[in-house]
Each structure stands twice: as structure tokens, then as C-alpha cells.
Amino acid sequence: MRAIDIKGGKGPVSSLFLSSEIPKPVPAAGQALVRVKFFGINRMDLTQRAGLYQVPPQAGPILGVEFSGVIEELHERSNANSDEYFKAGDEVFGLAYGGAYAEYVAVSTLMLIHKSQEIPWEVAAGIPEVWVTAIQAMELIGGFSPGKSILWHAGASSVSIAGIQLSKALGASAIYATVGSQEKVDLCRSLGATTVWNYRESNWEQEVSKITNDKGVDIIIDFVGQNYFQMNLNSAGKDGRVVIVGMLSGAKISGKDIDLSPFVTKRLRVEGSRLRGRDLEYQRVLRDMLVNDALPGFIDGKFQVPIEKVFDWRDIQGAHSLMESNTIKGKIICKVT
């Protein structure tokens, strides 16, 4: 089959190319073979391409974890452990451990979702990874419940775009976000954020203190890492939770004077997570939460999946270059042609 490959196994954007010599996957027990129509680009793909990502053993060398497509065939035992029935010809979207940058991907039926006609193919391909990640960070780890306040860093990233909408739908008392441009401020406000700060123009830590009367925020979802670590501790409220799901500014904070007293005085919990390394049963729970909490919103139009650009997959280098620019507001999607 055809698939996007990497010259030498890892490298810069220029190492990506469309190969026609990739073995077509064969579905194992519990899996379906899906003919891919669209796939989503995620930041982890860039890290994996560069050889800096610890890929789970079941992922394989082909990039990509989210897709939409049509079931081509199923292993005879594929529906044995599933609450839903799948068959050849079903239109689906879903989450895989890897291999979505291809004409075909083999994936567990536990991670597939039937695609409603109201959801366009390109939109469906941009849902699974980011919305499941947002649900995991906010609900499973962050312990969200109605009435809590929440702060989403990198507010115009796809995960935070999902998270802001979920926070509003599930009854957050206040939804804060940090971004790097006025365009992104406007986007987050349009999605339901109550207050958005451009970190290039204001000190969001001081603004959090001011707007909350020094009480802080119940849940902080952070993609930045090093530069925001102390500020997150200072901005969290009593019994607050800081969830670290990215490290865009770096992972090491050595050489800095970190004040750990907020851990004790505010009884904070700081926890990190990476979704892709989780086992199938854990991911299945999140998939079910996505179906129950969010799928109706995609069907009736309440939830948006902003798409920055749809690329022909032959221009995969352009798609990765745009992701690396850090200027996007939403998903980058590729069409398999």
C-alpha cells in the first residue's frame, strides 16, 4: 500500500515522502482494517519524525494516530469484546497507536466510532486524539466537576480548543486561557472562554491572582512545561490540580529557584500524562466518554472542530511545516488521494 514514510527512519521535514512499498496491515483478533480517507496531524508526529518520541511497541514505524475512513474488513473475532457492532462498509473514525498516515490502518474496534452523516470526513479525522486528550486531562486526571474553574494554556491548540468547549458544556464556573496573539484571543472567547490573556502583552499569573481575588484556579492544563511550572504553582487554588501534558518550553528546570511551598500550603497535586502509552482498556474508557459526552455535540453542531487547513497527503511536508510554525488555530488534516 501507499503510506508516508521517513527517509532513514527519522529526520527533518524534508525526510518525509510518499512510499508505495509499505506492507498492507492485516487485522489481528479484535481489529478492523480501515481504508483511510483523512488523517489528522498532531505535534507528537513531529517529535516522532525527529526520532525524539518514545513510540509504544504496538505503534509501528508509520506516523499518525487519528483518522476517518471506511472499514474494509474485520478479523472474525473483532466484535467479541465490543459493545458496538462493526461490519465491512461502516463509516468510522477512531484512534490508533500509529499507522494512520497510510491508505490502510489496522485498529482495535474498541477505539472506533461510527461516523454520523452530519460529521464531515475531514472533521471526523480531527476529533479522536485531541478530544480524548482533553477529556483525559480535564476529567480523569484534573478531577473536573461542575462549578470548578479551569485554565487552559496554549488556548488555541487543538486540545485546548476542545477543552474550552467541554468546560463550558459541563458547567465550569470560569474558563481561562493563555494564547500568543489577538486572533487566538478572539477564537478562545468565541468558543466559550470567559477570560483570555495574551502572554506577550500581559502577565497572566498576576491577572489570575487579580481576577480570582488571590483564590487561584481549581484546574490548570499545561502544555508549556518549564517556563510555566512555578507560575502554575502560584496560580493554582487550594486543593488545585495542575495537569502537565506537554513541554513546549522544555522539560528541565535546573538552575531555577523553584518554590515548593505551594504544594504544602495549598495541598496541590501536579500530575503528568501521555495518552498514547496507555493500555487499550484505559483508552477504551476515554473513547466511551467521548461518545457519551461529546459525540451528540458534533452531530447537532454545538461543538466545533476548527480546521486550519486540509492538505493533500502528497504535500505532507507542507503539513508538518505549518505545524512547526506554531501559528495555527485548530487542526491540520490530510486527505488520502
Instruction: For residue 36, give Cα distances in angstroms to 101, 112, 258.
Output: 8, 13, 47
Of residues 180, 183, 175, 124, the one with CA closest to residue 303: 124
- Cα three-residue angle 166-129-117, rounded to 5 degrees: 75
At 247 the pLDDT is 84
The residue count for the chain:
337
At 309 the pLDDT is 97
Structural domain boundaries of the chain? 3-127+305-335, 131-273
Percent of the chain with pLDDT over 90: 85
Could you give the CA distance from residue 90 to residue 95 in angstroms, rounded to a whole number? 16
At 83 the pLDDT is 67
At 82 the pLDDT is 65
Mean pLDDT for 222-244 is 95
Could you give the CA distance from residue 321 to residue 323 in angstroms, rounded to a whole number? 5
Model confidence over 277-307: pLDDT tens digits? Answer: 899 999 999 999 999 989 999 999 999 999 9
Could you give the CA distance from residue 15 to residue 325 in angstroms, rounded to a whole number? 17
Mean pLDDT for 255-259 is 80
Tell me how crowded residue 25 is: count the other CB atoms within 10 A of its CB.
20
At 254 the pLDDT is 74
At 181 the pLDDT is 94
Instruction: Say if CB 208 and CB 152 are below 8 A apart.
Output: no
At 251 the pLDDT is 81
Model confidence over 138-157: pLDDT tens digits? Answer: 999 999 999 999 999 999 99
Between 277 and 14, residue with greater pLDDT:
14
Could you give the CA distance from residue 169 to residue 158 in angstroms, rounded to a whole number? 17
At 16 the pLDDT is 98
Could you give the CA distance from residue 62 to residue 96 in angstroms, rounded to a whole number? 11
Name the CATH superfamily, with its identifier, for domain 131-273: NAD(P)-binding Rossmann-like Domain (3.40.50.720)
- Cα three-residue angle 41-66-86, rounded to 5 degrees: 160
Q: Which residue type sits at 108?
A: S
Mean pLDDT for 183-191 is 96
Mean pLDDT for 252-276 is 88
Q: Which residue type sits at 70?
A: V
Between 330 and 79, residue with greater pLDDT:
330
Q: Which residue type sits at 242?
A: V
Model confidence over 98-121: pLDDT tens digits? Answer: 999 999 999 999 999 999 999 999
Instruction: Say if CB 291 and CB 263 are below 8 A apart.
Output: no
Instruction: Say if CB 34 and CB 94 are below 8 A apart.
Output: yes
* Secondary structure (DSSP) of 145-167: -TT-EEEESSTTSHHHHHHHHHH
Average model confidence (pLDDT) across the chain: 94
> Per-residue confidence at 81, pLDDT binned at 50, 70, 90?
low
At 255 the pLDDT is 67
Name the CATH superfamily, with its identifier, for domain 3-127+305-335: Medium-chain alcohol dehydrogenases, catalytic domain (3.90.180.10)
Sign of the torsion formed by the C-alpha atoms of 59, 62, 63 and 66: negative
Model confidence over 216-229: pLDDT tens digits? Answer: 999 999 999 889 99
